[in-house]
Amino acid sequence: MTRYEGLRLAGALLLGAALALPAGMMLARRDAPERGPLRPQEAAVRNVFSPSVRDDPYFLGKQREGVEALEAHCRRTRELCAEARAARRRLDELARGR
């Protein structure tokens, strides 16, 4: 393969990619089912582009799980109850947006 043929091949590949990428994106968007926004308790992963972790539904869900586990531990063993109350109070503040 000569240098000229290599350049032609590279150009053809770039042109093909430039055409195939937008076409693939349009086809994928057309076939995708419509979905509304997720409710906060349905967030499967953390939104890494969220400007504030406190507003992230995934983060709040994980914090809620931790607080509930701490409260359950308090009920079972009568230990860490002050921490469980403080954690619940802080989680409620976060949920209200303070």
For the chain, domain boundaries: 1-32, 39-98
Given this model, what pLDDT does residue 98 score?
56
Given this model, what pLDDT does residue 42 score?
54
DSSP3 helix / strand / coil % (the chain, rounded to 5): 75, 0, 25
Question: Could you give the percent of the chain with pLDDT greater than 90?
Answer: 28
What letter does residue 14 receive in the DSSP assignment? H
Given this model, what pLDDT does residue 73 score?
94
Residues of the chain with pLDDT under 50: 38-40
Given this model, what pLDDT does residue 34 score?
62
| Count of H-run helices and E-run strands, the chain | 3, 0
Q: Helix 57-77 crosses helix 81-96 at what angle (to 10 degrees)?
A: 160
Given this model, what pLDDT does residue 26 score?
78
pTM for this prediction:
0.51
